[in-house]
Amino acid sequence: MSLENVLNNWSKYRRGAEEGGHHDYEHKWAMMINLDLCIGCNACSTACYAENNLAVVGKDRFEKGQAMHWLRIERYWDQAEQEFPEQGASFLPMMCQQCNSATCEPVCPVAATYHTPDGLNAQVYNRCIGSRYCSNNCPFRVRYFNFYSYYESSWPEPLNMQLNPDLTVRDKGVMEKCTFCVQRIRVAKDKAKMENRKVGDEDFKPACVQSCPTSAMVFGDYLDEGSQVRKLWDKYQVKMGPAKQDKQEPDMRGYRVFEGLNTDPSVLYLERVREKV
């Protein structure tokens, strides 16, 4: 962003500040996760490891809390007081929520994390200087830092042949997080552009969505009225943008984690359903 650019677009930045994140997107990638179908099987998480060159940190560093799982499945027992969890476990796939007014963006000293025109919360590895402020300011705690250089330890020959050349292998001192598989998005968009059409639902899926055995995850362009994900957001009467949700049917299942913090996440969760026997 050259200085001129800043000055010319100042009003836009101001508006962004007022509305929380700028909202004039060309696409707005969004997700919907049906927690009633999520069985917590870890397929998405492992798919993420495979697609995004995530480092395997090993037992000791995992113990220190330095694991790099961009997508982790959180498991909770709902009935804490009971002797047996009779209604089973609650599973929550938690990854970067790609907030529209992300709290991580304003605090990065070098603007290594910022909002892309297609509504993604970007992390530019080669710009990152590792101040880790973004992670501190993330209420979901989904930003992971390369505390070590994992290249040798995590991909001993020939494991490194599996590394995905479409995205960078991060080295020590860099923050990273879920990107909604931006490399797939970019390829799909480029392909669509070469064919002079708009990118659609079927063009691509993030690794997690593609692997989910129960199809609990749905991904797409929120701005595309026809997209599956948009239909679902509308069905569950959750809107992106406004601080206050006004559901005609307040009992509808859709909700976003920490809605109250008004970070305007792009991931819609559907409450898990249980039948009392």
Partner 1 sequence: MAVKSFKKMKLNMTAYINIALVLLIGGLLVPAWLLAGDVKPPSGDHNGKEVPQPIEFPHNIHVKDNGINCMYCHTYARRSKVAGIPPTSKCMGCHKTIATDKPRIQKLTEYWEKKESPQWKKVHDVPDFVHFTHEKHLKKFVFDRDFPVENVKEVCAFCHGELENMTVAKKVKPLTMGWCRRCHEANGGPGDCWKCHK
Partner 2 sequence: MTGTINRRSFIKMMGWGGVGTALGGCDVPTTVTLEEGKEDVVSYLMPEEYVIPGVGVWYASTCTQCAAACGTQGRVREGRVLKMEGNPNSSVNSGKLCVMGQAGLQGHYNPDRIKEPMIRKNGSLSLVGWDQALATINDKLNAADGARVAWFTGTISGHQKVLLNALLESNGSSKHYVHEVVGNKVLQAVSRDMLGDAMPKYRFDKAKMILSFGADFLGSWMSSPVHFAGEYAKFRTNKPRGLLVAIEPKMTLTGGNADLWIPARPGTEAAIALAIANELINAHNKDAAILPESVRNLIGQHSAESVAKQTAVAADRIKRLAQLLNERSPSLVLAGAPVEGQTNGYAATAAIMLLNHLLGNIGQTIESPGAFAFAQLEATTGGTADLIAFTQNAKDKNLDVAFFYGTNPVYSAPDALKFGDALKNIGMKVAISQFMDETTAQADVILPAASYLEDWGTHVAAYHSEQPAISMQQPLMEKLYETTRGFGDVLLALLQNKNKDKYGQYADYYAYLRHAFSAMPASYKENPASEEHSWNAVLQKGVIKVQTTDESLSTSIAEIDTPTIPASDSAYPLTLVPSVRLGLWDGRHANLPWLQEAPDQIAKVVWDSWAEIHPSTAKKLGIEQGSIIKVSSKHGEVTLKAVLLKGLHPDVVAIPMGQGHTEYGRFAKGLGVNPLKILAPEQEQKTGELAMYATNVKITDTGKKDTVVKIGSTDTQMGRKLVGTVPVEQVRRTEGA
Partner 3 sequence: MSIVNEKDINEQIAWAKINADVLRSMANPRRAYWISVAMCLAMIACAVTAEVYQYTEGMGYANLNNPHMWDMYIATFVFWIGMSHSGTLLSAILHIIHADWRKPIYRFAEAMTTFSLMTAGFFPIIHLGRMWNMYWVLPYVSDRGHWPNFRSPLVWDAFAISTYLSASMLFLFVGMIPDLAICRDNAKGWQKKLYSVLSLGWTGTDRQWRNFRKTYMLMACFLIPLAVSVHSIVSSDFAMSIMPGWHVTTFPPYFVAGALYSGCAAIITLFVLLRYYFRFEEYMTKAIMEKTCKLTFAIAMVWTYLNLVEFASVWYGHDIYSKELLIAKAVGPYAWVFWSMIFCGSVLPFTLAFQSLRRNMPVMFVVSLFLNVGMFFERWMIVAPTLSMSHNPHQWDIMWGSIIEWAIVFGSFGWFGLLFLVFVKVFPSVSMYEVKEMVYHRRRHVVNDEAAEKFHRRASDSKTGTDEPGLEGA
Residue 253 binding result from partner 1, partner 2, partner 3, none, given CB thresholds of 5 to 8 Å by partner type: partner 2
- Find tokens 């000055």 and name the residue: 7
Q: Which of 247, 227, 229 is nearest to 237 (CA)?
A: 247
- Using CB under 8 A as the binding rule, the residues of this chain from 100 to 159 that contact partner 2 are 125-126, 128, 146, 149, 151, 154-159
Instruction: Indicate whether 9 belongs to the interface with partner 2 (CB under 8 A).
Output: no
The structure tokens listed for 144 are 């992971």
- Using CB under 8 A as the binding rule, the residues of this chain from 169 to 198 that contact partner 2 are 169-174, 176
Instruction: Indicate whether 161 belongs to the interface with partner 1 (CB under 8 A).
Output: no
Instruction: Indicate whether 203 belongs to the interface with partner 1 (CB under 8 A).
Output: no
Residue 129 binding result from partner 3, partner 1, partner 2, none, given CB thresholds of 5 to 8 Å by partner type: partner 3
Instruction: Indicate whether 120 belongs to the interface with partner 1 (CB under 8 A).
Output: yes
Instruction: Indicate whether 234 belongs to the interface with partner 2 (CB under 8 A).
Output: no
Instruction: Indicate whether 214 belongs to the interface with partner 2 (CB under 8 A).
Output: yes
Cα(46)–Cα(67) distance, integer angstroms: 13
Instruction: Indicate whether 18 belongs to the interface with partner 2 (CB under 8 A).
Output: no
User: Whole-number minimum distance, CB 103 to partner 3, in Å?
Assistant: 5
Cα-based distances in Å from 206 to 57, 160, 219, 224, 236: 23, 22, 8, 17, 22
Q: Which of 95, 88, 50 is nearest to 217 (CA)?
A: 95
H or E element at residue 176: strand 175-176
Task: Give the CA count within 13 Å in the CB-facing half-sphere of 68.
Answer: 24
Number of residues that this document lists for the chain:
277
Instruction: Indicate whether 77 belongs to the interface with partner 2 (CB under 8 A).
Output: yes
Cα-based distances in Å from 191 to 57, 103, 107: 35, 32, 34
Cα(110)–Cα(132) distance, integer angstroms: 11
Instruction: Indicate whether 188 belongs to the interface with partner 1 (CB under 8 A).
Output: no
User: Whole-number minimum distance, CB 53 to partner 2, in Å?
Assistant: 8
When binding is defined by CB under 8 A, the residue of 126, 157, 158, 225 that contacts partner 1 is 126
Residues that bind partner 1 (CB under 8 A): 1-5, 114, 116-117, 120, 122, 124-127, 166-169, 179, 182-183, 186, 190, 193-194
